[in-house]
Structures are given as structure tokens and as C-alpha cells.
Structure 1
Amino acid sequence: MPMTCRTGLHDRHDVYAAQCPCRDVLDMLANKWSALVVGALEDGPQRFGALQRRLEGVSPKVLTQTLRRLEDYGFVDRTIYPAVPLHVEYALTDLGRGVAGPLGLLRSWVESHLDEIHAVRG
């Protein structure tokens, strides 16, 4: 991790620093499909088809990409159960459960303020 990302004060990462990898994580989590997948998985492990039905409008390709990114960053676990056909479930990790709260607050805020936002936009 580049030191340019650290503030000297508390040795914390600085998302405002141009080269800080925090920006990659922020970009991934700020994606609407990531925020919605995390929210859907708060109810417990789900199979791909169940997630796709819950997230109306997501294509299989985008859902697959989103799940892979969330798994790569450690927010989601993918478990394969040996069965015919294969049974695959996705679940939040501890890290995923940790980010679920803030993302849930953001989703709730958007739902609560959508009328105001639309009024401003005309």
C-alpha cells in the first residue's frame, strides 16, 4: 500500500489522496448493484437466481461481475455445494456485514428523500 495514502496525523488512509487504494473500494461499494447485493444478502445466504429476482433489472452478466468484485474485496463468500446441478450460495462475510449498515442507511436515505430530489431536478 503506497505511503502517499497515509495521513501523518493518525496513520490512517486518506481517500482524498490521488493514489490511495481506498478510492477503488469506495468506487466498488458506491456502485448501485454492489449496494443492492449487500442489502439483499443481509437476509442471509442466497443463490444466484434468488438474487437476480430480488434485484429487478440486473442482467446475469452484471450480477456475476458484481458478485465477483464483492468476493474479490472480501465482502461476499461464495460456497459451492456438490449436487447435481451445482448449488452455489452467496453470503456476506464479517467485512460485508460491517459495510451493510452504512449502505443500508444510504439506501434508506435515498428512499426517504427521493421526492425532494425529483422536485429539485424538475
Structure 2
Amino acid sequence: MEKQTMGEEEINMHEEMRRAFALLSGKWKLEIMWLLNQRVYRFGELRKAIPGITQHMLTAQLRELEADGLVSRTIFAEVPPRVEYEITHKARGLGPTMEALTTWWNEYGKSVPVKPSARGRKARA
């Protein structure tokens, strides 16, 4: 499945898949997308839900996801301001992929060795 032809145009599927992988290849993007697939989150809720992520990194990853059209950000004109994040219609198309990963993990997850997490800040107790 290296190359496909669409009309006169030839598509290199390897390159196309590299582009697709790049959308979710940030350090925390899959975890963010997993959470947002469940429900709408406020920034602080996301930060608390992801042990080890820094405020700076969460902001950077959310901005990238928003720029790629996978996350939408809604600002409410309140005092103090409220900001909510949710996945877009385009990102909802990844739902079957997340369900497949869940099914795979339920079958094989126990056989995967637990590795100590050395990334980001330490989770607060």
C-alpha cells in the first residue's frame, strides 16, 4: 500500500500516514485527545487529569491541536474568564481508533511491563 492512484495524481500513502501520525505525535496529545473524547474540559481540569504535565506544555499541546483543527477552544465572557476545550467533529472521526486501542489494551495491557514515568513534573499527592 505504498502508492495509490487518484486520477492522474499518485499518492504516497507512507508520506500521508506520516502526516497523520504527526498530528497526534506530541508528547501529551494522545492523552489529551483521549480525555476530550470523553467530555468537555476546562484547562485546570485537564491539567489535574494528566499527572506530570506542566502548564506550559499543556498550553503548547492544546494550541497545536487547535491549529490542526482537532480541538476547539471556547472562551466565555465571564469574570473570571472561563475557557473550555472539546474535540471537533473532525477529531470525533478518531473515535473508532480510540475504541480499537481500548479493546487492544483490555486484551494485552496486562502483559505490558509497567515503566516508571520520568516525564514532566511530579504528580501532587
State the TM bucket, normalised to the shorter chain: 0.7 to 0.9
Determine which of 14, 23, 40 is the counterpart of 1:16: 14
Fraction of identical pairs, as percent: 28
Give distance in 2, aligned partners of 1:32 and 1:108.
23
Q: What's 1:60 paired with?
A: 55
Determine which of 22, 43, 49 is the counterpart of 1:48: 43
| Higher share in strand | 2
* Residues 47-89 of structure 1: CA deviation (Å, up to 9, x unaligned): 0000111111111111111111111111110000001121100
Note the C-alpha offset of 1:110.
Answer: 4.1
Moved more, 88-97 or 110-119: 110-119
| Higher share in helix | 1
Change (3 A) 1:97 1:114: same
RMSD (Å), alpha carbons? 2.8
Note the C-alpha offset of 1:115.
Answer: 3.8
Q: TM-score, normalised by structure 2?
A: 0.72
Note the C-alpha offset of 1:102.
Answer: 0.7
> Matches of residues 24-103 of structure 1 in structure 2 within 5 Å?
24-31=19-26, 33-103=28-98
Determine which of 4, 7, 26 is the counterpart of 1:7: 4
Secondary structure at the aligned position of 1:8 is classed as strand
Note the C-alpha offset of 1:33.
Answer: 1.5
Give distance in 1, aligned partners of 2:23 and 2:96.
16
Change (3 A) 1:16 1:85: same
Q: Point out 4+ residue stretches in structure 1 off by more than 6 angstroms.
A: none
Higher-RCO chain (CA-CA 8 Å, sequence separation at least 6):
2
Note the C-alpha offset of 1:34.
Answer: 1.2
Q: TM-score, normalised by structure 1?
A: 0.73
